[in-house]
C-alpha cells in the first residue's frame, strides 16, 4: 500500500465533498443537516449533524460496500494486518455476537475464558451454544483475573475435541495480557480458530513498547473497540479476519442482521480517520501518549502511599501490561478504589473504573501532558492529605485473601436466555436450595464472588461439590457477591423440573 493511499480517508473525504456541494436534502435523516436540532442544543449538535449522512449516491452502503466504504475497510485491513476488516457501528459488542454466531450453532461447544464481557455470553445465548469455561489465573498479588493457562486450554481441547473454537480476551480491562502465539498454535494444531476479544487493544502492534497485536500473533478473528483506545467515536469498532478458518460470508450476513440498516456515517468516518492516524503517524502518536503516561507513572512513584500496578514479574498469569492503563491503589490500606475515585473526581479528574482497592485511569495516545500533570497534582495532594503519616503495608492487596478458583475447565454449560425458553423449560421452576443440597443441580443464577469478579457459577452450570465448598469458604471469609442475592445466607437458586418439586421457597 503506497504512503499516499495510507494518507487518504476515502469515506471521510467523500462526505466532506458532499458537504461542500451545499446539497439540499430530500432524504433521511429528518433533521436536515442539523437544522432540526433543538435550539437549546444546536451549538453542540449542528456541527455533528451536518455530516450525519446516510446511504445516498456516492456514499456507498456498509452492508454491500462497493465504493468508499469498501476502500476504507481495505485500508483498515492493511493497517491492522487483516485479510478483511468490517467496520462496526455497534461496538465490539456486535463484533463478538457475529464472530460467535458465525462459528457456533445450537449445542456446539466454544472454549471461552470464564471472565468475559457479557457480549460474549450473549453471543453464546443467541447461538444456543454451550460454553466450556476456562478459569483465568489471578495476576500476581493484585488479585485481578488475568489470562488462562496454556495447559488448561490444552486440557480443555483434549476433553472437548469437538469444540468449534477458542475465544480469549486479551488484554483485559486493566491491560494485562499474554503472548497469544502459543494459544494460536495450539488452536490451529487442533484445526480450530482462535477468536480474540481485543476490545482494549486496538493500539497494540504499533510501537515497540506495546505488545504484539492478536492478528500478528496468529488469531483468526479479532474484535477491537477502536473507540476505546484510538480516536473513533463511541460505538466505532472493527472486526478483523485472517486466513480461512472463519466463514466470511456468514459473518457478513450476520452483521447485516445484527446492525442497523442506517449505520451512523459520522461513526464510520471516525473509523476511517482513526485508521489513517495509525497508518501514517501511529508510532509518533504513541510516543506522544507515552510521554504523558511516563509523567504520571514516574510522578506517582515519588509519592508516599500511592502505587500503581507494575508490569509483570516472572509469573504466569500475564506477561504484558498496557502502559496506557494506570491501575492506582493506596498501599497503606487507608483509601479504597472508590475513595480514590471520589477524590480524583472532586478535583475534576474523571476515571474509567473503580473497584475494591483499585482505581483505573485510562490514558490514550491523545492524553495531554497537562492532563497527566493535573492527575498527578491530585495524587500528590491525596498522598499529603491522607497517607503521609501512614505506614505502607507489605501485602497491599486486600484481594489476596480470595484465592483463585481451583477448578480450571468446566463441563459444557448450555447458555440459554429466558427469552428463548421452550415449553419444557417454561415448566421448570427455580427454587432455593441450601449450598449443600445444591450439589449436582443446575444453577439458575450467576454467582460472582467479588473480588476477584470471576463468575464462579453461570446459569445452567452444574454445581459441583468443589464449587459449593469454595462458596462456603468464601462466605465464611466475608467475601461479597454480585449476581446472587441469597448466597450469603447459604442458598443458591437452582433449576428443578415439575410442580411437585416446588418448595415454599419457590421464586419463579
* Residues engaged in binding ligand PLP (CB under 6 A): 91-93, 117, 119, 169, 173, 197, 199, 225, 237
Of 267 and 292, nearer to ligand PLP (C-beta) is 267
Shortest Å distance, C-beta 49 to ligand PLP: 23
Of 116 and 153, nearer to ligand PLP (C-beta) is 116
Shortest Å distance, C-beta 197 to ligand PLP: 5
- Paired with 155 in beta bridges are none
DSSP state of 25: P
Of 169 and 264, nearer to ligand PLP (C-beta) is 169
What DSSP assignment string belongs to 274-334? HHHHHHHHHHHHHHHHHHHHHHHHHHHHTSSSEEEPPPP-S-TT-SEE-TTEEEEEETTS-
DSSP state of 419: G
Cβ atoms within 10 Å, residue 422:
8
Of 113 and 484, nearer to ligand PLP (C-beta) is 113
313-352 burial: b if 16+ Cβ within 10 Å, else e:
eeeebbbbbbbbbbbbbbbbbebbbebbbebbeeeebebb
Q: How far apart are the C-alpha atoms of 32 and 28, rounded to whole Å?
A: 8
Of 271 and 431, nearer to ligand PLP (C-beta) is 271
Shortest Å distance, C-beta 93 to ligand PLP: 3
Q: How far apart are the C-alpha atoms of 160 and 293, rounded to whole Å?
A: 43
Of 82 and 295, nearer to ligand PLP (C-beta) is 82
Residue with CB nearest ligand PLP? 91
Of 88 and 378, nearer to ligand PLP (C-beta) is 88
Shortest Å distance, C-beta 28 to ligand PLP: 25
- Quick one: cell of 206? 504499533
Cβ atoms within 10 Å, residue 388:
12
151-178 burial: b if 16+ Cβ within 10 Å, else e:
ebbbebbeebeebbbbbbbbbbbbbbbb
Angle (nearest 5°) at CA 196 between 310 and 189: 110
Shortest Å distance, C-beta 199 to ligand PLP: 4
Q: CA nearest 313: which of 472, 486, 140, 149?
A: 140
Shortest Å distance, C-beta 454 to ligand PLP: 14
Of 68 and 101, nearer to ligand PLP (C-beta) is 101
Shortest Å distance, C-beta 169 to ligand PLP: 5
Q: How far apart are the C-alpha atoms of 173 and 92, rounded to whole Å?
A: 14
Directed axis angle between helix 181-189 and helix 150-159, to 10°? 10
Directed axis angle between helix 369-382 and helix 337-346, to 10°? 120
Shortest Å distance, C-beta 238 to ligand PLP: 10
Shortest Å distance, C-beta 219 to ligand PLP: 14
Of 73 and 92, nearer to ligand PLP (C-beta) is 92
Amino acid at each position: 500500500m503506497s504512503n499516499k493511499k495510507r494518507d487518504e480517508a476515502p469515506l471521510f473525504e467523500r462526505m466532506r465533498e458532499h458537504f461542500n456541494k451545499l446539497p439540499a436534502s430530500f432524504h433521511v435523516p429528518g433533521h436536515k443537516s442539523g437544522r432540526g436540532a433543538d435550539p437549546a442544543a444546536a451549538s453542540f449538535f449542528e456541527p455533528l449533524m451536518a455530516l450525519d449522512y446516510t446511504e445516498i449516491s456516492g456514499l456507498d452502503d456498509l452492508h454491500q460496500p462497493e465504493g468508499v466504504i469498501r476502500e476504507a475497510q481495505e485500508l483498515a485491513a492493511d493497517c491492522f494486518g487483516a485479510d478483511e476488516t468490517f467496520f462496526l457501528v455497534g461496538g465490539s459488542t456486535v463484533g463478538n455476537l457475529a464472530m460467535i454466531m458465525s462459528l457456533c450453532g445450537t449445542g456446539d461447544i466454544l472454549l471461552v475464558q470464564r471472565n468475559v464481557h457479557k457480549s460474549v455470553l450473549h453471543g453464546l445465548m443467541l447461538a444456543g451454544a454451550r460454553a466450556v469455561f476456562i478459569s483465568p489465573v489471578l495476576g500476581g498479588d493484585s488479585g485481578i483475573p488475568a489470562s488462562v493457562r496454556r495447559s488448561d486450554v490444552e486440557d480443555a481441547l483434549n476433553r472437548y475435541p469437538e469444540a468449534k473454537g477458542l475465544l480469549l480476551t486479551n488484554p483485559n480491562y486493566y491491560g494485562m495480557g499474554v503472548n497469544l502465539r502459543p494459544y494460536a498454535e495450539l488452536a490451529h494444531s487442533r484445526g480450530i480458530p482462535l477468536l480474540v476479544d481485543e476490545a482494549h487493544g486496538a493500539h497494540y502492534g504499533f510501537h515497540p513498547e506495546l505488545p504484539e497485536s492478536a492478528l500478528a500473533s496468529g488469531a483468526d478473528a479479532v474484535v477491537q473497540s477502536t473507540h476505546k483506545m484510538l480516536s473513533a467515536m463511541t460505538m466505532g469498532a472493527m472486526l478483523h479476519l485472517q486466513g480461512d478458518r472463519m466463514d466470511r460470508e456468514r459473518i457478513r450476513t450476520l452483521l447485516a442482521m445484527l446492525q442497523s440498516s442506517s449505520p451512523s456515517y459520522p461513526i464510520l468516518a471516525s473509523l476511517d480517520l482513526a485508521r489513517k492516524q495509525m497508518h501514517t503517524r501511529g508510532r509518533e502518536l504513541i510516543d506522544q501518549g507515552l510521554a504523558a503516561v511516563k509523567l504520571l507513572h514516574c510522578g506517582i512513584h515519588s509519592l508516599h502511599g500511592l502505587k500503581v500496578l507494575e508490569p509483570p514479574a516472572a509469573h504466569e498469569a500475564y506477561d504484558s501490561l498496557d502502559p496506557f492503563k494506570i491501575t492506582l491503589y493506596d498501599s497503606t490500606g487507608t483509601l479504597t478504589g472508590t475513595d480514590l475515585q471520589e477524590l480524583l473526581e472532586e478535583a475534576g479528574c474523571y476515571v474509567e473504573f473503580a473497584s475494591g482497592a483499585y482505581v483505573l485511569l485510562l490514558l490514550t495516545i491523545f492524553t495531554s501532558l497537562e492532563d497527566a500533570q493535573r492527575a498527578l497534582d491530585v495524587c500528590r495532594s491525596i498522598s499529603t492529605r491522607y497517607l503521609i503519616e501512614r505506614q505502607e503495608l507489605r501485602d497491599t492487596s486486600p484481594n489476596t485473601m480470595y484465592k483463585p478458583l481451583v477448578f480450571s475447565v468446566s463441563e459444557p454449560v448450555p447458555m440459554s436466555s429466558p427469552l428463548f425458553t421452550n415449553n419444557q423449560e417454561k415448566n421448570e421452576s427455580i427454587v432455593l436450595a441450601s449450598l449443600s443440597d445444591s450439589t449436582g443441580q443446575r444453577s439458575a443464577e450467576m454467582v460472582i464472588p467479588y473480588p476477584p469478579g470471576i463468575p464462579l457459577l453461570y446459569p445452567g452450570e452444574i454445581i459441583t461439590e468443589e464449587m459449593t465448598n469454595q462458596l462456603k469458604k468464601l462466605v465464611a471469609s466475608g467475601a461479597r457477591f454480585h449476581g446472587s442475592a441469597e448466597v450469603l445466607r447459604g442458598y443458591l437458586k437452582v433449576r428443578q423440573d415439575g410442580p411437585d418439586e416446588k418448595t415454599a421457597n419457590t421464586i419463579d
